[in-house]
Amino acid sequence: MRKKKRGIGYLIPYIVNVIINVFLDVVIIAVYTNPVVQGLQDVGSLFGVEASIGDIMKTAVDWGMVPAWEVALLVGILVLQAAIAIYGIVLFCRFTDRINRLCMENELGNPKGSFHYLIVLLLSLVTLGIYYLYWIYRQGSRLAEADKRIYGTGLRETNGMVYMLLSLFGVFTCGITTCVLVYRIMNALDAMEGAREEAKSDPVGWKMEEAEGSAGWNQEEDALTLPVTGWANEGRAAMGRIQCCAGAYEGAEFELRDQEEVIIGRDETTAHVVIKNPKISRKHCGICYHAQDGSYSVTDYSTNGTYYKNGQRFPQGRPVACQAGTIVVVAQSGNEFLLC
């Protein structure tokens, strides 16, 4: 709830800007449609003189077509718009930092971080806004990819093409679609940061309970036991073992039945060993034991990678044979598993 209130607070200056734009458009239309102003434009056209909006407004003030209080109001509005523009730059800086911080966790080894916000503004100015449209498209795509692979909020607030269109049409809608764009970005950032904080506060989310010589994994909130009957001790010769030597389950051991794959990941509906860490994919990697020769196979399903202890990465999507004694490192999350 707190995040939603903060988001609305961000939007207030943009909403005020929409009201100002509508008011200014009404004033400009009223001046342009004034018969005297139209007559001046017609006379100017006869002599090849094109009057600017500034000249027309000055003439309207000089001739008393616009009351003095309205002139003062217009000046005040322009000052307020300048203040809102400065606020927009500050907010843009914060957005850029937050997007980079959230997305670059998904881009380990291939960072796609945005330029500094001042460079983005300068390039946008030089290219008459074209670079900004590209930039906002790119950030929307980065957020969508990071949410899909790491945070899993399920929001539909991240879409590069939608971001670009909302930004483009903001010029023609007095800033209304810009408000929608800012709201979507804030909603996405708040949701992803919330998911990350939740993962940090509950890095495991699951606990191991022993009962009559067998182990089961229970979710702390509702004590729902996962169906892991295959891990019971049904003959030591036909079983492999995984020992967590670092990370959330340090010191714990898991038994593997012959040819049965144990999944390590962030999603409790997919993984057997659940680790609530944003660097770990929902289905990160699988470990399978082969009783015939006492070997293991490791399959990497992740984005951020599964590694040997020496830093070499497992190939993605292809099972790799490993012998007992191999240490499997799960992303850069501090979780390591020894194949026993």
Residue pair 89/121 in contact by the 8 Å Cβ criterion: yes
| pLDDT score, position 43 | 65
Separation CA 18–CA 174 (nearest Å):
6
Q: Which sequence spans correspond to the domains of the chain?
A: 2-33+67-200, 206-339
Q: How is residue 121 written in tokens?
A: 């503004």
Task: Give the three-class secondary structure for 271.
Answer: coil
The residue-averaged pLDDT of 13-30 equals 79
> Percent of the chain having pLDDT more than 70?
70
257 or 222, which is more confident: 257
* H or E stretch at 38: helix 35-46
| pLDDT score, position 189 | 87
Q: Which residues of 287-313 are buried (b: 16+ CB within 10 A; e: fewer)?
A: bbbeeeeebbbbbbbbbbbbbeeeeee
* Residues contacting residue 145 through CB under 8 Å, at least 6 positions apart: 103, 106
pLDDT at residue 57 is higher than 60: yes
Q: By mean pLDDT, which of 48-52, 165-169, 301-305 is the weakest?
A: 48-52
Q: By mean pLDDT, which of 90-94, 145-149, 238-242 is the weakest?
A: 145-149
pLDDT band at 306 (very low <50, low <70, confident <90, very high): very high
Separation CA 279–CA 330 (nearest Å):
9
pLDDT at residue 164 is higher than 80: yes
Please write the tens of the pLDDT for every residue from 112-136. 677 788 888 899 989 988 999 999 9
pLDDT band at 54 (very low <50, low <70, confident <90, very high): low
Please write the tens of the pLDDT for every residue from 93-104. 888 888 888 887
| pLDDT score, position 329 | 94
Range among 67-81, 143-157, 258-272 rated most confident: 258-272
Q: Tokens 């002599």 — which residue?
A: 47
Separation CA 207–CA 115 (nearest Å):
42
Separation CA 180–CA 170 (nearest Å):
9
Checking DSSP bridges between strand 273-274 and strand 214-219, what pairing results, if any?
A: unpaired
- Virtual torsion, Cα 231, 235, 239, 245, nearest 10 deg: 70
Residue pair 326/301 in contact by the 8 Å Cβ criterion: no
Task: Give the three-class secondary structure for 255.
Answer: strand
pLDDT at residue 287 is higher than 90: yes
| pLDDT score, position 163 | 92
| pLDDT score, position 1 | 35
> Percent of the chain having pLDDT more than 90?
18
Q: By mean pLDDT, which of 13-17, 46-50, 227-231 is the weakest?
A: 227-231
Residue pair 113/104 in contact by the 8 Å Cβ criterion: yes
CATH class of residue range 206-339: mainly beta
Closest by Cα among 168, 148, 167, 158 to 189: 158
Strand segments, DSSP code E, in 214-290 are: 214-219, 239-246, 253-257, 261-265, 273-274, 285-290
Tell me whether residue 52 is exposed, middle or buried, using C-beta atoms within 10 angstroms of its C-beta: 0 to 12, 13 to 18, 19 or more: exposed
Strand segments, DSSP code E, in 184-326 are: 206-211, 214-219, 239-246, 253-257, 261-265, 273-274, 285-290, 295-300, 306-308, 320-322
Separation CA 176–CA 284 (nearest Å):
41
